[in-house]
Structure 1
Amino acid sequence: MARGLDRQRHILDFTLAALLRRKGKTGALVAVYTLVVFLLASALFFGHALRREAELVLKDAPEITVQRSLTGRYAPIPKEYAGAIGEIRGVSSARPRLWGYYYDANSRANYTLVVPAENQPDPGTIVIGSGIATLRDANPGDQIGFTGYDGAAQSYRVARVLPEGAGLVSADLILISERDYRALSGIPDGEATDLVLTVHNAKEFATVAEKIRQRFPDTRPIVRDEILRTYDALFNWRGGVVAVLSGMAGLAFVIFAWDKATGLSAEERKEIGVLKAVGWETSDILAMKFWEGIAVSFTAFLLGVTLGYLHVFWGGSFLFAPVLKGWSTLYPNFRLIPAVDFGELGAILFLVVVPYSVSTIVPSWRAATIDPDAVLR
């Protein structure tokens, strides 16, 4: 066994020396290969990290959200529904919530208006996210104007700006008092945007939601797990867009690599003939080409994955972040927490290393089975 390992070590040393002799050709192949792996790995890392961020953000989301729907359209919900729903067995609490969106025509951005349950800003003041502060060039003490539902101008003083560290959640966020929100949106005192529920037992979410639908047919209960599945599907779709584009580049590379692997150059055929003439066996030739494929593909895999990791978690994924983030104007500044799906990474490793390594063996076997004199001639 030790003799066999020494034999493979010597073959590997010769293979690496041969690759270095053709460093121009080898470098070009590794560079193209690395680019394909880099694109695929970046899409993988970014999509998985965003799904992880969504899970962390939504873990504190309401267990059940109850919305009202009239003829298929979203509508404010009467606050009296909260008392009736709170009496359903299994429901710990039911609280009305006020929030909505405001489109700023000047900056062409959508803001999210929220009335916090506790510590509401004083009437006439608002708390804004870092994205809005940058977009509107606003600082604490400045005035920001909005147009109400009735066309009347409303002005609010910026009490403070939320920290940038919470950019993923609060970049487009405006915290406002209940009185100011109702004056701006036109929602009367007896109605709310939706209801948020707390349930005793997580296993009863579906049962409670069904009871709400039966008692109030005009409502739509949304369980937190449904939101998580929606975000997961969304990020999978956005990641799939980049993966398809990367796959097209990968297909072009496969054609290039297959042409390179299946068509040995005259120099490589001569090298094989010389090795056969000095006593190398066909199995040794195949082992050499196998190690050559492993060296090229595995090096490209390591470089591509490393560059993809740095691109996503240190470079902000600047190449295709707008495609995957999805915000139209306000792009939150945040650094993703490194999260790697080793199962998907292993699949990329298999698809990158195995096909190329195998494709180098077939033409080498054909050349190795020819008489050395014929090859040299």
Structure 2
Amino acid sequence: MNVWIEKQKYLIDFTLASLARRKAKNLGLLLVYSLIVFLLASVMLFTHALRQAANELLAGAPEIVLQRMVAGRHDLIPPGYLERIARLRGVLEKQGRLWGYYYDPVVKANYTFMVADDRLLAPGTLVVGAGLARTRGVAPGNLISFRAYSGKLFTFSIADILPAKSELVSADLVLLGEADFRAFFDIPPGHYTDITLRVANPLEVRNIASKLAQQFPDSRPILREEILRTYDSIFSWREGIVLALATLALLAFAILAWEKASGLSADERREIGILKAIGWDTGDVLRMKFWEGAMLSLSAFLLGYLAAYLHVFHFSASLLAPVLKGWAVLYPRFELSPVIDGLQVTTLFFFTVFPYAAATLVPIWRAAISDPDAVMRG
């Protein structure tokens, strides 16, 4: 065993010296290889971290959201629905929500107006998200005006700004009291945007949703798991767009592997011929070249993956954020928690390292089994 280890050490030492003799070529190859790994790993790390963040944020969401549909469009829920829902067995908690969208022509962005259930806001005051405050340049105590769809101008005082750590979901959020919300959007008392329900037994969520659909045929129950699947589909779709744009990088990698598999340079053939002439057998040559391809591909993978990790979790994925975040104007600022998926790393490793390492062995084997004199003569 010790003899085998010592032999591998000598082979690695010789391989490093061989790589150093072709420094410029190998450094260029390492740079291109690392950039390809960096691009692919950045997309995978960022989308996976966004999925995890969305799952954590939606973990506390209600199990069912009930929306009323009129002519296929979302409409206000009239009075009486909450009382009828209370008669259903298994419903632990029910609550009517008030929320809506507002287009601000000042910054050409959409805001989400919502009644604050966990805050006691005085009339004429509101709480805004950090993204909105940054875009409009406002701070607590400042006044801000919005013109309602009825044409009436409303002026509010900013009571507070939502914490930056919640900016992933609150960048465009505006919280205000119920009376102000109803006056701004002209919504009559007793009407709600939708109703949220919490279920006593999680296994009965689908049964209760089925009962809601039967009792309220003009409504649509939306399950939390369906929302999670929707987010996952959106992130997968955006990830696919970026990977499609990375086709050129993937094509470059394919050309690189093909060039390596198609043959050897004259210097490499001469080197193999000399090694065979001084007593190296075919197995030694293959092991030496295997170490050469393995060290180059592993170095590129580690460098590319480390750069992608720093890019995503320390520099907020600045190169990919405009595509994968999805906001049009109010881009939130947030730091994703480092999340690494073992299967994802293994898949990326398999599709970037193994093809190149395997491609290096084909021409090496052809040269290694040839006559040394013929190899050196080309």
TM over 0.5: yes
Pairing of 1:266-345 with structure 2 (within 5 A): 266-345=266-345
Q: Is the 8 A contact 1:83 1:94 kept in 2?
A: no
| Deviation (angstroms), 1:333 | 0.8
| Deviation (angstroms), 1:266 | 0.6
Quote the Cα distance in structure 2 between the aligned partners of 1:297 and 1:143. Answer: 58
| Deviation (angstroms), 1:261 | 3.8
Q: Which amino acid aligns with 2:236?
A: N
Quote the Cα distance in structure 1 between the aligned partners of 2:240 and 2:361. Answer: 33
Which residue is 1:355 aligned to? 355
Quote the Cα distance in structure 1 between the aligned partners of 2:297 and 2:376. Answer: 29
CA RMSD in angstroms, aligned pairs only: 1.2
Which residue is 1:172 aligned to? 172
Q: Which amino acid aligns with 1:329?
A: V
Aligned residues: 377
Residue deviations 1:303-352 (CA, integer Å, cap 9, x gap): 01000000000011010101000001001111000011110110111111
Quote the Cα distance in structure 2 between the aligned partners of 1:292 and 1:174. Answer: 59
Which residue is 1:47 aligned to? 47
Residue deviations 1:158-215 (CA, integer Å, cap 9, x gap): 1111221221121111111111111111211121000011110000000000000000
Which residue is 1:249 aligned to? 249
Consecutive aligned runs of 4 or more in structure 1 exceeding 4 Å deviation: none
| Deviation (angstroms), 1:283 | 1.1
| Deviation (angstroms), 1:63 | 1.4
Q: Residue 106 of structure 1 aligns to a residue in which SS?
A: coil
Q: Which runs of 5+ in 2 are unaligned?
A: none
Quote the Cα distance in structure 1 between the aligned partners of 2:79 and 2:95. Answer: 9
Residue deviations 1:250-293 (CA, integer Å, cap 9, x gap): 22222123213422111101000100010000111111111111
Q: Which amino acid aligns with 1:350?
A: F
Pairing of 1:53-202 with structure 2 (within 5 A): 53-202=53-202
Deviating more after overlay: 273-282 vs 11-20: 11-20
Q: Is the 8 A contact 1:120 1:175 kept in 2?
A: no
| Deviation (angstroms), 1:128 | 0.8
Q: Which amino acid aligns with 1:308?
A: A
| Deviation (angstroms), 1:79 | 3.3
**Percent of matched pairs sharing the same residue:** 51
| Deviation (angstroms), 1:247 | 4.1
Quote the Cα distance in structure 2 between the aligned partners of 1:82 and 1:62. Answer: 15
Q: Is the 8 A contact 2:133 2:139 kept in 1?
A: yes
Q: Is the 8 A contact 1:120 1:176 kept in 2?
A: no
Q: Is the 8 A contact 1:122 1:177 kept in 2?
A: yes
Residue deviations 1:117-140 (CA, integer Å, cap 9, x gap): 232311111111111111111111
Q: Is the 8 A contact 1:93 1:198 kept in 2?
A: yes
| Deviation (angstroms), 1:21 | 1.3
Deviating more after overlay: 247-256 vs 333-342: 247-256
Which residue is 1:10 aligned to? 10
Q: Residue 106 of structure 2 aligns to a residue in which SS?
A: coil
Q: Is the 8 A contact 2:257 2:355 kept in 1?
A: no
Which residue is 1:367 aligned to? 367
Quote the Cα distance in structure 2 between the aligned partners of 1:253 and 1:337. Answer: 30
Quote the Cα distance in structure 1 between the aligned partners of 2:351 and 2:169. Answer: 37
Quote the Cα distance in structure 1 between the aligned partners of 2:340 and 2:5. Answer: 34
Residue deviations 1:215-256 (CA, integer Å, cap 9, x gap): 000011111111111111111111121122234312222212
What's the TM-score once normalised by structure 2's chain length? 0.97
Deviating more after overlay: 50-59 vs 3-12: 3-12
Quote the Cα distance in structure 2 between the aligned partners of 1:286 and 1:108. Answer: 63
Which residue is 1:32 aligned to? 32
Quote the Cα distance in structure 2 between the aligned partners of 1:312 and 1:119. Answer: 34
| Deviation (angstroms), 1:28 | 0.4
Pairing of 1:212-231 with structure 2 (within 5 A): 212-231=212-231
Quote the Cα distance in structure 1 between the aligned partners of 2:307 and 2:186. Answer: 51
Q: Is the 8 A contact 1:45 1:340 kept in 2?
A: yes
Q: Is the 8 A contact 2:51 2:231 kept in 1?
A: yes
Quote the Cα distance in structure 2 between the aligned partners of 1:120 and 1:170. Answer: 18
Quote the Cα distance in structure 2 between the aligned partners of 1:190 and 1:202. Answer: 29
Q: Is the 8 A contact 2:260 2:359 kept in 1?
A: no
Q: Which runs of 5+ in 1 are unaligned?
A: none
Q: Residue 308 of structure 1 aligns to a residue in which SS?
A: helix
| Deviation (angstroms), 1:24 | 0.7
What's the TM-score once normalised by structure 1's chain length? 0.98
